[in-house]
């Protein structure tokens, strides 16, 4: 018995009873807390970024900092869109003119790129480019290589703005007197094609502002959206609550990004409909900031920060704007990353708990239970989980409920994101975990040496539905729609437990 227990303290035993079919979409969910994640081989940090116990710190709260993170070791298919979640911490620091800076960006780029080059610091937030005349030649920096989409949490507000001055030249929104110029959520588009050799070469065109909205107000000039005629239309905010992007109270905030394929008809798509929500209070209702902006595969825009003759002299004379059309065809595979920067205005930027799934993948949430020594406990893990049902559409979104979960798809901890084995029993030093696929109940039976808390993770899926011709109309049973893991935590109670003792054919109950 001593030998058996010694072995169990060092090994985990897993029992399987089936496997699932590989995804027909070639997509597998991804999650990383980024806390003490320096050993994760898929991660590459840039500049002043560093791994910490609370996440990846992109910049400290000091001036002139710039840092980035590429999740360059993983690619994601784009045919069914993407759902991204991450938490951020943006606090401390010193303002300039009452405004902290600069902000952070999340970006997507072509998955075929093996060695991406990050974009410009400062207002570029690691995504856009920065051009300059010869006096400031050291500040020239191309935009993110093979960029597809950049989404900024722009506290200072410069990411959206057109500039033409000696040290900074970039296209954007010009001539606007903003009611709220700061705390903007802004989308910029893909890298453009080289136009000429006078400064607007490879990496120095495109990245146009698509849409921007301040989170600070629902009135006044707080938003703009790019139109087909290359102008910017003023938009009115209808936020359910207004807030500053900074979270100076110390809490982490959560961002939800959805890229839903924009269907022209049942078989043809044109880019994505993009939705951005921000959860400002833990477990609170997220605030919708960008509501399904249609990012087309062809985007008319204006290059409006052109030199009169060339960037490669000391002249600050601006030339005429030119009309361009951005090729924004979605790459077959995407990779993602983050960046942040500070200037004279600065603040700390940290990100953590990054999750990537397909839109409307199953969602599992953590469960907590307790038990007494030697006594098993049953956990109804699906009570706070959901899977989806119904065709994918932004006009009539599918409905989410725990009744849509396919109990037979449950699995305890998998060895990696692409493991197709379904694990229904796991023996750990703390005890034995079993799952009943008929009832959806997880049972934890503690070992005699169990003290403190025990944890186990699990994932689940919904169901696939086909029409009469065998075409998939609801894909939620595909492995691509498997949830990211949730954690079950069981703690040992030290009071209120009833134990039975048999002595001389009598049963004595003791409450401890």
pLDDT of residue 500: 63
Give this prediction's pTM.
Answer: 0.90
**77 C-beta neighbours (distance < 10 Å), count:** 19
pLDDT of residue 501: 60
pLDDT of amino acid 263: 87
pLDDT at 77: 92
Tens digits of residue pLDDT in 261-299 = 998 887 788 999 999 999 998 888 999 999 999 999 999
- DSSP secondary structure letters along 233-288: EEE----SS---S--TTS--EEEEEEEEEEESSSS-EEEEEEEEEEE-STTSPPEE
CB 471 within 8 A of CB 456: no
CA distances from 383 to 345, 366, 402, 462 (A): 46, 11, 7, 15
What domains does the chain contain, in order, with CATH numbers?
A: 2-22+360-492 (no CATH), 30-254+289-357 (2.60.120.200)
Contact 378, 443 (CB under 8 A): yes
CA nearest neighbour of 210 among 234, 227, 226, 229? 226
Identify each DSSP E strand in 3-42 by its residue range.
Answer: 13-19, 30-32
Question: From CA 270, how far away is CA 388, in angstroms rounded?
Answer: 24
pLDDT, residue 322, reads 97
For the chain, 512 residues long, the average pLDDT of each consecutive 10-residue run is 38 73 90 88 94 96 96 92 96 93 97 95 97 98 98 97 97 94 97 97 98 95 96 93 90 95 86 96 92 97 97 97 97 96 96 95 96 93 96 87 97 86 95 96 94 95 91 92 95 81 51 52
Q: What does the pLDDT read at residue 504?
A: 52
The pLDDT score that the predictor gives to residue 11 is 53
pLDDT of residue 344: 95
- As to burial, measured by CB atoms within 10 angstroms (0-12 exposed, 13-18 middle, 19+ buried), residue 490 is buried
Provide the pairing of β-strand 232-235 with 472-475: unpaired
Sequence-ordered list of residues with C-beta below 8 angstroms from that of 163, at least 6 positions apart, any chain? 123, 169, 170, 172, 305
Q: List, in order, residues 6 or more apart from 408 with CB less than 8 Å away.
A: 18, 437
d(Cα 108, Cα 128) in Å, to the nearest integer? 12
């Amino acid at each position: 018995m001593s030998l058996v227990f010694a072995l169990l303290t060092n090994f985990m035993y897993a029992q399987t009873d089936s496997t699932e079919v590989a995804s027909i979409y070639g997509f597998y969910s991804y999650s990383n807390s980024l806390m003490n994640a320096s050993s994760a081989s898929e991660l590459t940090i840039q500049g002043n970024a560093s791994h910490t116990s609370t996440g990846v710190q992109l910049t400290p709260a000091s001036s002139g900092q710039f840092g980035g993170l590429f999740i360059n070791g993983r690619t994601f298919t784009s045919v069914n869109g993407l759902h991204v979640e991450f938490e951020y911490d943006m606090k401390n620091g010193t303002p300039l003119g009452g405004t902290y800076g600069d902000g952070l960006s999340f970006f997507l780029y072509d998955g075929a790129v093996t060695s991406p080059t990050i974009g410009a610091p400062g207002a570029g937030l690691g995504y856009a480019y920065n051009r300059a005349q010869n006096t400031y030649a050291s500040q020239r920096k191309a935009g993110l290589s093979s960029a597809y989409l950049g989404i900024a949490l722009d506290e200072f507000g410069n990411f959206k703005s057109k500039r033409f001055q000696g040290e900074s030249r970039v296209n954007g929104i010009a001539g606007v007197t903003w009611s709220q110029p700061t705390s903007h959520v802004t989308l910029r588009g893909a890298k453009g094609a080289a136009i000429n050799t006078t400064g607007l070469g490879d990496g120095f065109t495109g990245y146009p502002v698509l849409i921007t909205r301040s989170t600070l107000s629902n009135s006044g000039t707080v938003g703009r959206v790019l139109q087909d005629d290359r102008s910017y239309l003023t938009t009115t905010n209808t936020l359910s609550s207004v807030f500053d992007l900074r979270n100076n109270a110390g809490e982490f905030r959560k961002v939800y990004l959805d890229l839903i394929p924009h269907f022209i008809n049942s078989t043809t798509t044109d880019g994505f409909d993009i939705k951005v929500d921000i959860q400002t209070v833990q477990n609170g209702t997220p605030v919708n900031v960008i509501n399904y902006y249609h990012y087309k595969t062809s985007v008319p825009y204006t290059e409006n920060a052109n030199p009169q003759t060339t960037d490669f002299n000391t002249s600050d004379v601006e030339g005429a704007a030119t009309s361009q059309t951005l090729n924004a065809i979605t790459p077959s595979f995407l990779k993602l990353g983050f960046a942040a920067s500070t200037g004279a205005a600065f603040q700390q930027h940290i990100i953590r708990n990054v999750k990537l799934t397909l839109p409307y993948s199953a969602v599992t949430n953590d469960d907590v239970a307790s038990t007494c020594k030697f006594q098993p406990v049953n956990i109804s893990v699906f009570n706070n989980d959901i899977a989806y049902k119904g065709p994918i559409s932004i006009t009539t979104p599918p409905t989410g409920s725990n009744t849509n979960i396919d109990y037979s798809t449950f699995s305890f901890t998998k060895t990696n994101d692409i493991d197709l084995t379904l694990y229904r029993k796991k023996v750990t030093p703390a005890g034995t975990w079993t799952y009943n696929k008929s009832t959806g109940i997880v049972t934890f039976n503690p070992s005699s040496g169990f003290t403190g808390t025990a944890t186990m993770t699990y994932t689940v899926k919904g169901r696939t539905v086909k029409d009469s011709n065998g075409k998939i109309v609801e894909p939620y049973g595909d492995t691509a729609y498997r949830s990211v893991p949730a954690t079950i935590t069981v703690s040992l109670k030290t009071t209120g437990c009833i134990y039975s003792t048999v002595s001389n054919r009598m049963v004595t109950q003791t409450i401890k």
